Structures are given as C-alpha cells and as structure tokens.
Amino acid sequence: MKSEAIVAALRQACPGVNVTSRSGLLGETFVVLPLQCLRHAVRLLFEQFGVRHLSTITAQDVGDNIELLYHFWAGEGLTLRTMLPKSEAHIDTITDLVTGASFYEREAAEMLGVVFDGHPDPRPLLLPEDWTGGAPLRSNETDPTAAGPTHLEQQAISEPEVQVTPGERMIIPIGPQHPLLKEPLSYLLTVEGERVVDSSLRIGYVHRGIERLCQQRNYVQNTYLLERICGICSHIHTTTYCQGVEALLGLQVPPRAHYLRALMCELERIHSHLLVLGVLAENIGFTTIFMYAWRDREIVLDIMEELSGGRVSHAATVIGGVQFDLDQQHARSILTRLDDFEKQMETLRNVIYHERSFQMRTRDLGYLSMEQVQDYCVVGPMARASGVDVDLRRDAPYAAYRDLHLRVVTAHGGDVWARTQVRVEEVFESLHLCRQLVEQMPGGPVTVRAPRRVPAGEVVSRTEAPRGELIYYIRSDGSDKPARVKVRTPTITSLMSLFDQLRDISIADVPAVIGGMDLCIACADR
C-alpha cells in the first residue's frame, strides 16, 4: 500500500523523531508528526509520492492543545496530525506548497484561534470581520456570542483597496443578493473596460455553526441536523455521517440498506446535475434548456418523495440502515419511470449538444488545467472535466458501489462546456446505476439497532457527493455526543479556484462561469 511506503519514507526523512502511524477505520491511515516535521512531510508527499490532494484540515480542541489533522487522499486516506499548545498556537502556512490549503487554514484560524504564519490572506472566512466572540470551537469559550477578544485581531485585514481611475478601472459588486446568485455570497469584480482583471469573494452569509451544534446534540439528533447542511444533496450528508458513526460502533449494516442508500444517492445526483444545467442555461439566456432540465428533474424528485416521503430533506438514512423499503410493485414502477425519463433526457442532450450558440457561450470559459485542479484540490465534475480521473464511488467504494459496474465520465476541455458534458453524461451513468441497484437489490432487513453511546475513537468518512468528494471527520469521547464533527463540502474547493476562472474574461461571461461551477453556498458556509 502507498501509505506504508509513505510512513517508511517519513521515518527515514525524520531520523531520531517519533513518527508513529496506525490504520484507522474505513481505510484511513493516521500519522503522528512533531510540529517541526509537518512542512517537510507535506513536501515529501508531493515530490516523492505525487500526493497533491489535500481534502481538508481539521482543527480541534484537545485540552491544553490544539490538534491539527491534514487529511490527504492518495488513492487511500492518509491523515497527518500534529499538536500545538493553546498558549502559542502558531504554525507555518503550507499554502506555498498546497494552494488549496488557503480556505482550510482560514477556517481553522477563526474557529480555533490558530495563527498560520505567512498566510497570504488571513481574513476570516465564515465569521464577520468585526466578530468579537473569540474562537467558537475552543472549549474554554463556551458562549461564542459573548463579547471578548478575538483570536483574529492581529491578522484580520480589510478587503483589498483598488485604486479607481475614472474610465479605466472600476469595481463591480455582485451579491450577496443578486439575480445571478441562487444563494448569498459576495463578489467584487475589478474591471478595465469589459475585462475582469481581478476579483475577491466573501462567504459566510448563511453560516449556521453546524459543527458546534453537533457537539451539543447526540448522534441520532445530528443525523437530522447534518441533513440540513444542504437542500440539494441532503441524503449524501446523512449517508457520509452515518457511515462514519457505524464504523465507530462496528455495526454491520444490512446489504439491502446499502443498496437503498446508493439508490437515493444516484437519484440525488441526477436531480442535482439537472438543477445546475438549468441554472447555467437560465444564466446565459437559454430558457428552453432550463425548462427541459427542470421538467425532467421533477420525475426524479417524485420518485425520491415516494421512497422517503420528502423532496428536500428525506430523513431516509439512520445509524444502522435506512427508514424505508421498496416492494416489487414499486420497483417495477421506478424502472418504468426511469425509462421514460431517459427518453426525455435524450431529447435534452440533443438540444444541448446541437445548440451551437450554447457551446459558443460556454467554450473556453472558466478554464482550469489539470495542474490548476490539483493545486486547488478541486473535486467532482469540475475536476473530471479537466481530465482528472477520480471518483470515490470507484476508488473507495462505499454502500453498494463495490457491487456495481461504474464508468467514470471525464473530459479534457477544462472549461464550462466540458463541465456541461460531464454532468450530462453522468446523468445517464447514474440511470444505469439505478437500474443495477433496483434489479440486483438483495432481500433482508433494512436496519439494525444501534447503541446510543459510541465508543471512543475517530474516523474519516468519504463519499462522492454530486459535486465531488465529501469528507467527514468524527471523533467520539465515549459519550452519547460527538466531541468533534468536521465537514468539508465540495463547493469550497471550487470557490478557491474562482479567482483564476474569472481572470481576463469579459464581464458578460461571468454568469456562465458562475453557473457552470455548480456552487452550493449553504454547504460551504455550514
């Protein structure tokens, strides 16, 4: 295994240093490193092993220290962990090594009070710039709304000022509320004439403090809380969370429940992709494509509602299985409707692929090379449209995916048109998977009873959400409430690449770039 070779190389590269490792649940390898070895270890991952994907950074309060966990993906999960004393929580940034670490470090700074020395943009990411409640996830700051010194005071900076010369350069704000945006975020576009020369963004307008709320609720209650991170991909959040908790409990989930979970995941992927195809088309004036996409999406939403009872929040997955079942008559009905849906989807695909003006509005826009995707750690259809062949359903199969035949859809254009193609073809691949799941579904129960208390331990749970890799870190202290739940959603990786995508394009093309990214700001803000 690659992780074993990496651990051996780390031990050799840090002679006399205590580098320990252990195999965790769900295939994750944890490596403990002294603080002074962290940057060297990250550099070694890149240069010697080609491991460039940083999934996220988890920061957590562990008494007198702040623990940092750097979660990498190397074809298998690899987590580097190190410890900082609370009294001097300083560590060098790794953004010069991993561009995609930028937002993760900013979040750890504001939530746990860690100072990342040398970070190029240490502004708060989710909290307002005038926040005075301290670091919300530090245990000694139990009331995050209480007035007090902020841990960001020494590093907070204002939005960069741009010298405005009349007739040459100006700033155009987009958001937080704007017809272009389906969720609140703020862009500042610096333009010269019609060309975008610079941009900045601000998120956090729908930040709900969900990770802190998880520490105040038991494991069962958190299932319904985490489902509300996103109204589009709610099911994959509960699936990822329950998968992690079940690993901590050592629960064997019934095979039929795995199939039902995967069926809901693929239906959710279809409706999510059709939603963004419609949003993109509407953003650039193609109302026919918008109407076709959202009309066809209703078929999938109806099926999901019949299965779970909900169109947005499904409450389908529980710790130990699922809360619904599927009889033979309903299974035949689903297959019939999926056949009808496929015919309508063929029509939509033909309209998209043969509409030359649609292609002209999306080609060569929002371009990301494979190298840029790797630098920003971009995931999902955004990455696959730039030729990165990665999909956790195949590479780290969960639920029923190890029993299915899956074709990973990729493209090489790296632009909005390539992302459109990937999502269209993934709809057809998801249809193929749905048929396999319904036709091959085993019999048996759909749930097993789960204990209320979870044994002490930790787990990293990864799945392939509609927008790409979704990762949960869950730590249990042996009580009925988690000690830490960290969530990194796919949108945050896309947002980090937005600056490169918008640079040097016409301001009229900004709606196409934003629409083609498939942003979910509620997911990113949490």
How much is the pLDDT for 153? Answer: 40
**Does residue 428 fall inside a structural domain?**
yes
**Does residue 127 fall inside a structural domain?**
no
How much is the pLDDT for 144? Answer: 43
**Does residue 198 fall inside a structural domain?**
no
The CA distance from 425 to 286, in Å, is: 20
Number of domains in the chain: 2
Q: Is the pLDDT of residue 401 over 60?
A: yes
Q: Is the pLDDT of residue 504 over 80?
A: yes
Q: How many CA atoms lie within 13 A of 488 on its CB side?
A: 31
CATH code of the domain containing 30: 3.30.460.80
Structure confidence at residue 310 as a pLDDT band (50, 70, 90): confident
Greatest Cα-to-Cα distance within the chain, rounded to the nearest angstrom = 72
**What element of type H or E holds 127?**
none
How much is the pLDDT for 152? Answer: 41
Mean local confidence (pLDDT), 414-431: 94
**Does residue 23 fall inside a structural domain?**
yes
**Does residue 171 fall inside a structural domain?**
no
Q: For residue 41, what are the β-bridge partners? A: none
Enumerate residues 6+ apart whose C-beta is below 8 A from 140: none
How much is the pLDDT for 158? Answer: 44
Mean local confidence (pLDDT), 310-319: 87
Tokens of 200: 């900045």
Structure confidence at residue 254 as a pLDDT band (50, 70, 90): very high
Q: For residue 317, what are the β-bridge partners? A: 322
Q: Is 85 helix (H, G, I), strand (E, B) or coil?
A: strand
Plot region of 167 (φ>0 → left; ψ -120 to 50 → alpha; else → beta):
left
The answer to whether 496 touches 200, Cβ cutoff 8 Å, is no
- φ, ψ of residue 479 to 5 degrees: the values are -95, -170
Q: Are residues 109 and 219 in the same domain?
A: no
Last residue of a domain, one of 60, 94, 117: 117
The answer to whether 453 touches 480, Cβ cutoff 8 Å, is yes
Does 313 or 104 have the greater pLDDT score?
104
Does 331 or 162 have the greater pLDDT score?
331
Residue percentage of the chain with pLDDT more than 90: 46
How, if at all, do strands 321-322 and 457-465 pair? unpaired
How much is the pLDDT for 156? Answer: 39
The CA distance from 461 to 469, in Å, is: 10
**Does residue 432 fall inside a structural domain?**
yes
* Summary mean pLDDT of the chain: 87
**Does residue 478 fall inside a structural domain?**
yes
Q: Are residues 366 and 503 in the same domain?
A: yes
How much is the pLDDT for 260? Answer: 94
Q: Are residues 103 and 214 in the same domain?
A: no
**Does residue 225 fall inside a structural domain?**
yes
Does 269 or 16 have the greater pLDDT score?
269
Tokens of 416: 């909005």
Last residue of a domain, one of 117, 151, 174: 117
* pLDDT, tens digit (0-9, with 9 covering 90-100), for 344-374: 999 999 999 998 898 889 998 989 999 999 9
CATH code of the domain containing 442: 1.10.645.10
Tokens of 447: 């749930």
**What element of type H or E holds 482?**
strand 482-488
Q: Is the pLDDT of residue 479 over 70?
A: yes
Domain around 16: 2-117
How much is the pLDDT for 485? Answer: 94
**What element of type H or E holds 470?**
strand 468-476
How much is the pLDDT for 40? Answer: 87
Structure confidence at residue 63 as a pLDDT band (50, 70, 90): confident
How much is the pLDDT for 149? Answer: 38
Helices then strands, each counted (H, E), the chain: 18, 15
Q: Is the pLDDT of residue 221 over 90?
A: yes
Last residue of a domain, one of 64, 89, 117: 117
Q: Are residues 253 and 113 in the same domain?
A: no
The CA distance from 399 to 108, in Å, is: 31
Q: Is the pLDDT of residue 151 over 90?
A: no
Enumerate residues 6+ apart whose C-beta is below 8 A from 329: none
How, if at all, do strands 53-62 and 321-322 pair? unpaired
Mean local confidence (pLDDT), 110-119: 91
How much is the pLDDT for 4? Answer: 78
Across 114-153, b (16+ Cβ under 10 Å) vs e yields bbbeebeebbbbbbeeebebbbbbbeebeebeeeeebbbe
Q: Are residues 315 and 454 in the same domain?
A: yes
DSSP letters spanning 253-296? --HHHHHHHHHHHHHHHHHHHHHHHHHHHHHTT-HHHHHHHHHH
The CA distance from 517 to 54, in Å, is: 20
Across 319-346, b (16+ Cβ under 10 Å) vs e yields bbbbebebeeeeeeebeeebeebeeebe
Structure confidence at residue 164 as a pLDDT band (50, 70, 90): low
* pLDDT, tens digit (0-9, with 9 covering 90-100), for 456-476: 999 999 999 999 999 999 999
DSSP letters spanning 139-208? TT---TTS----TTTTT--PPPP----TTT-EEEEE-SS-TT-SS--EEEEEEETTEEEEEEEE--TT--
Q: Is the pLDDT of residue 18 over 70?
A: no
The answer to whether 257 touches 428, Cβ cutoff 8 Å, is no
* pLDDT, tens digit (0-9, with 9 covering 90-100), for 89-104: 899 999 989 998 999 9
Question: What end-to-end distance do the CA atoms of the chain give, in Å?
Answer: 34
How much is the pLDDT for 155? Answer: 40
Mean local confidence (pLDDT), 466-487: 93
Residue percentage of the chain with pLDDT more than 70: 93
Give 21-24's long-range contacts (Cβ < 8 A, gap of 24+).
24/77, 24/79, 24/458, 24/459, 24/460
Mean local confidence (pLDDT), 204-222: 92
